[in-house]
Amino acid sequence: MKNKEIIDAEKVLELESLCIDLAKKQLNQKFVDALDILHSPKNKIIICGIGKSGHLGKKMAATFSSTGSPACFLHASEAVHGDLGIHQIKDPVIFLSNSSSTPELMSLFPIFRKQKSKIIGIMGNLNGPLVKKVDVFLNASVPKEADPLGIVPTASFTVASALGDALASGLMKRNNFTRVNYAKTHPAGQLGRNLLFKVCDVMHPLKKVAITEPKTTIKELVIEMTTYPLGAALVIKNNNLLGIVTDGDLRRALSKENLITNMTAQEVMNKNPTTIDSDLSLENALKTMEQKNNQISVLPVFSKKTKKIVGLLRLHDIYSPSFH
C-alpha cells in the first residue's frame, strides 16, 4: 500500500502535468507573434515581474541569455527607483503576472510604451486589465494550483516557466544556436569544456609520462610507473609506439603468472592501443573512450602533423578542471 504522502506528491505532479498539457492546447499564432517580437538582433529582452513571478523572471532571463538571446531581469518595484536605466528604446519586454493586474507592472506600462517597446504578457488571469494592454498575451492560466490550499503559485508557476522555455527554444532555432554556441556561454561546465578544449590542452606531455622499451623488465616498468603515476606506461622504440601497459594489464598478468617479475613489457602490453589526435576536442576523446565494448580509461596522444606520440590522456583528465 502506498504511503499517503507519496500519493499526495503524485497528485501534485499529475495536476502540473495536466496544466502543461492545457497550455499546449491553447498555443496559437500569438506564440509565433511573441517570437517575432523577441527575435531582435539589436535589442535585449527585458523580463519584468515581482514576487514569485520575479523569481521566475530571473530564471527566464538566465535561460534566454545562455541560449543566444541576451536578456535582463528588471524587478517591477525597483524599476522606478533607477533600475529602468537597463531598458533601452525598443527593447522587447515580457510581463510575468499570474493575476494580470500587478500594480507595479501597470505603472510601468506607459513608460515602456513611450520607449517604443513591444510587450508580451505571460499571465494567468484572462480578465485582468493587462491582458488587453499587452501586444501579445500568452495564456498561462490553470484550473487550480497544486498545493493543499490551492493558493500557492505552483501549477501556474510551472506553466509560465514552461512557456518561457518554449520561447527560448523557439529563439534558439531561429538563431541557429548550436552546441558549440552553447559551450561558449558555458566554458566552466563540462559540456563547454568538452566542446571548447582540445586533447592537447589537458593531456600529460610525454616528459611526464612513464615510457619504457619492449624488453624492459616488469620490475623496472613498475618503478617507472610509480615515478609517473598516471595508471599507464607507453612502450616506445625508435620513437614509435609499440603498445601500452596499464595498471589493469599488470593485474591481469599477475593473476595468470606466478613469476611476473621475470616478464618484460612487451609480454604484458596491449599491442593495438586506441590513440587520439591531439587536435581533437575532449568530446571526441570521450566518445572514443566510451564507444569500445570495454571502456578505455587512457589514450596515447599523437600529433597528426608529426605522426609522433606527444602525450597521454586519461578519462580523469577530461573531467578534471586543471590543465597539464
Which residues sit opposite 268 in a β-bridge?
A: none
Q: What per-residue confidence (pLDDT) applies to 64? A: 98
Write the DSSP assignment of 265-288 as a string of letters: HHHHSBSS---EETTSBHHHHHHH
Shared domain for 164 and 265, answered yes or no, is no
CA angle 70, 98, 78 (to 5 degrees): 55
DSSP state of 236: E
- The pLDDT of 275-282, averaged and rounded, is 94
| Residue 182, in any domain of the structure | no
Identify whether residues 29 and 144 lie together within a single domain: yes
**Residue 258: pLDDT band with limits 50, 70, 90:** low
Position 100 in a domain:
yes
At 196 the pLDDT is: 85
Helix (H, G, I), strand (E, B) or coil at 80: helix
Clarify whether residues 27 and 160 are in a common domain: yes
Residue 1 has pLDDT above 80, yes or no: no
Q: Which residue, 97, 158, 165, 155, is CA-closest to 126?
A: 97
pTM of the model: 0.76
Do residue 10 and residue 136 come from a single domain? Answer: yes
Q: How far apart are CA 164 and CA 158, in angstroms?
A: 10
Query: Cα-flanking dihedrals φ and ψ of residue 151, to 5°?
Result: -130, -15
Of 144, 177, 210, the residue at which a domain comes to its end is 177
Cα 304 from chain centroid? Answer: 30
Question: Pick from 113, 142, 177: which residue ends a domain?
Answer: 177
Higher-confidence position of 20 and 259:
20
Listed in sequence order, the residues at least 6 apart from 98 whose beta carbon sits closer than 8 Å to its beta carbon are 52, 53, 123, 124, 125, 140, 153, 156, 157, 160
Please report whether residue 110 resides in a domain: yes
DSSP secondary structure string, 114-143? HTT--EEEEES-TTSHHHHHSSEEEE---S
- Do residues 175 and 168 make contact, with C-beta atoms less than 8 angstroms apart? no
The CATH number for 314's domain is 3.10.580.10
**Does 310 score more than 90 pLDDT?**
yes
Task: With respect to residue 170, please indicate whether it lies within any of the assigned structural domains.
Answer: yes
Q: 92: which residues sit within 8 A by CB, 6+ positions away?
A: 37, 38, 40, 43, 45, 46, 117, 118, 119, 120
Same domain, yes or no: 157 and 231: no
Q: Which domain holds residue 104?
A: 4-177
pLDDT at position 322 over 70: no
> Given a cut of 80, is residue 195 above it in pLDDT?
yes
Task: Say whether both 210 and 256 belong to one domain.
Answer: yes
Q: Three-state SS across 20-58?
A: HHHHHHHCCHHHHHHHHHHCCCCCCEEEEECCHHHHHHH
Q: What is the pLDDT of residues 105-158, one digit of tens each?
A: 999 999 999 999 999 999 999 999 999 999 999 999 999 999 999 999 999 999
Q: What is the spatial distance between Cα 91 and Cα 69, in angstroms, rounded to a whole number?
A: 12
What does the mean pLDDT of the chain come to? 93
CB 233 within 8 A of CB 213: no
In a domain, 186, yes or no: no
pLDDT band at 262 (very low <50, low <70, confident <90, very high): confident
Asked whether residue 15 falls in the same domain as residue 152, the answer is yes
Q: Work out the burial of residue 135: count CB atoms within 10 Å of its CB; fewer than 13 is exposed, 13-18 middle, 19 or more buried.
A: middle
185, part of any domain: no
Are residues 52 and 167 located together in one domain of the fold? Answer: yes
Same domain, 126 and 264: no
Look up cell 535561460; give the residue.
63
With CA atoms as reference, report the closest residue to 124 among 165, 76, 163, 160.
160
pLDDT at 180: 82
Q: Is residue 208 domain-resident?
A: yes
Residue at a domain's end among 121, 145, 177: 177
Judgement on whether residues 251 and 289 belong to the same structural domain of the protein:
yes
CATH number of the domain bearing residue 58: 3.40.50.10490
Residues 118 and 223 in one domain: no
Residue 324 pLDDT grade (very low, low, confident, very high; cuts 50, 70, 90): low
Residues 138, 63 share a domain: yes
Number of domains in the chain: 2
Q: List the one residue out of 280, 283, 279 whose CA is nearest residue 194.
A: 283
Digit-coded pLDDT (tens) for 153-194: 999 999 999 999 999 999 999 999 998 888 888 877 788 888
The answer to whether residue 297 is domain-embedded is yes
